[in-house]
Structure 1
């Protein structure tokens, strides 16, 4: 199930599902370095942004974020975060920042998160809107002044459809309480294995060292006409009735029903290989096809275990 053109959508505008948080101060870079999964030091060396997550002490995702330098100042950062989680995110960062020389504040009044399917972002935004760090197919993304009239249209639905068709989860409703490698952060440039310590690092490092990730997020498409989108939290099962995984996102329109499932890799491997009994369906619903997207490393399926 490689995403065909009919499953993707053009988009350009404001991502109204995202919010902006500002982190600034003499300790801002060091503070973020110890709070998120990726290496924010690369931003000082010319990187556009660092896609990352903050984790719970047990290593599960609390929130995802894109960290960007605000202008040329190395002690001021802008974070693109899930709007529904932004208040909790602010509180969590402030708890971590005790005795640090940092200011952490809501920046939504003056800035918005934007995305575009192509590089036509205008001269005023060319430096602020850059290639999405996760996948080239996700286009361009950045943070711009809220007053910039070129980005007034909201495009969250079209962007989400393209993202889901590509097999990329985003936001608390899709990522929370999962492990970063289950959410494919290792292939989406969302985690550094060479930086220093950060909250929740031990479980992530242990999972990588063992070389086995038993569950991952993958895209699915209904393969029956008239299918209805399953509810988030619904189950996908195989022909034997084994639970393959949980639906974490689903979209339904006139063209298709598609979504994301956090599924056991052993079942995906059997499904791709066409083994007997390995066809998938929504529990009490339509048949669905699940195929690893083209950006998945081939060794992920090779390493799948029961």
Structure 2
């Protein structure tokens, strides 16, 4: 055991489903329908991605694990897994590709560590931010991770880190058939590739990117209470949005993601205690992570 493991914690990530995709044309199949580039994904690595509508709206987001050269696992919310499975089978047509549900898989998050043991199987580094740690796919996490000094933790603590980094996950953050990749900042997380060629919804996503048409962005807010998802966000008595993911923080506070107009984000960010910002009636603050700064310029069509 090394010092970097002593203070690490792990927690089960519940309510997720897994779909295995394999076969000689698995790469070409996924490249042609999802936003992420699986061809450049190394064996033993993972990456976020999504399946879009033809109009460029997110149907389902997921994490993609490359198990071997032609073997992948997609992990999505359990409530969305049946729909994703059905759509994948529909798009397969006659390709030599296998698509199977994997009800035997379990995901644990392992975080607050700097490095992991060499050649540890079924362990995947989260590439979106080092603070998000690693994911372990296996049912024996208590035994395996415990031998490396990891202590059981609370998954809400990990979600607080995720939200603070403005990283969306699931249908609450990415409303099916409404959310856009660029509004969610997923282009900064390598979840969409603008060079890999066509996929479903590619034309709208690329046009939004190259023409600078993004009008809203997901951003984190710190609150001195714990609001419910969908709580109102009010700026100087005007409703500017509602909460999405919420996670408690130290004390009695919380951190929440919200989809807000870029013009409102600019106004809040530039203000010096001149604007009143509340969530569910409680004082709140915009807490932009470094990667979101400077904020994008307003779209030409944004008033």
**SS of corresponding position for 1:169:** coil
**SS of corresponding position for 2:74:** strand
Task: Show the 5 A alignment for 1:114-153.
Answer: 114-117=108-111, 118-119=113-114, 121-122=116-117, 126-142=120-136, 144-148=137-141, 149-150=143-144
User: 2:208: which partner in 1?
Assistant: 207
User: 1:5: which partner in 2?
Assistant: none
User: 1:6: which partner in 2?
Assistant: none
User: 1:159: which partner in 2?
Assistant: 158
1:167 Cα offset (Å): 2.0
**SS of corresponding position for 1:41:** coil
**Residue among 20, 23, 37 paired with 1:22:** 20
**SS of corresponding position for 1:42:** coil
More deviation, 76-85/213-222: 76-85
**Residues of 1 paired with 2:272 and 2:293: CA distance?**
21
**Residues of 1 paired with 2:8 and 2:267: CA distance?**
34
**SS of corresponding position for 1:168:** coil
User: 2:186: which partner in 1?
Assistant: 185
User: 1:93: which partner in 2?
Assistant: 88
Could you list the structure 1 runs, at least 4 aligned residues long, displaced by more than 6 angstroms after superposition.
Answer: none
**Residues of 2 paired with 1:123 and 1:277: CA distance?**
52
1:80 Cα offset (Å): 2.0
**Residues of 2 paired with 1:38 and 1:146: CA distance?**
28
**SS of corresponding position for 1:187:** helix
Q: 5+ residue gaps in structure 1?
A: 1-8
TM-score in terms of structure 2 length: 0.84
Number of equivalent positions: 285
- Structure 1 residue 261 and structure 2 residue 258: aligned? yes
**SS of corresponding position for 2:206:** helix
User: 2:4: which partner in 1?
Assistant: none
User: 1:102: which partner in 2?
Assistant: 97
**SS of corresponding position for 2:258:** strand
More deviation, 157-166/213-222: 157-166
Is the 8 Å Cα contact of residues 250 and 260 (structure 1) preserved in structure 2? yes
- Structure 1 residue 302 and structure 2 residue 301: aligned? no
- The root-mean-square deviation of aligned C-alpha atoms, in Å, is 2.5
Deviation digits for residues 95-122 of structure 1 (CA, Å, limit 9, x no counterpart): 211222211111121x222221124655
Deviation digits for residues 170-196 of structure 1 (CA, Å, limit 9, x no counterpart): 112221231011111011121101011
User: 2:149: which partner in 1?
Assistant: none
Q: 5+ residue gaps in structure 2?
A: 1-6, 147-151
Is the 8 Å Cα contact of residues 248 and 255 (structure 2) preserved in structure 1? yes
**Residues of 1 paired with 2:186 and 2:36: CA distance?**
10
1:261 Cα offset (Å): 0.6
User: 1:234: which partner in 2?
Assistant: 231
Deviation digits for residues 23-79 of structure 1 (CA, Å, limit 9, x no counterpart): 0112211111112111110025x6722321111122111111121222x3x221111
| CA shift in 2, pair 1:47/1:208, >3 Å | farther
More deviation, 259-268/94-103: 94-103
**Residues of 2 paired with 1:15 and 1:28: CA distance?**
27
**Residue among 50, 74, 90 paired with 1:79:** 74
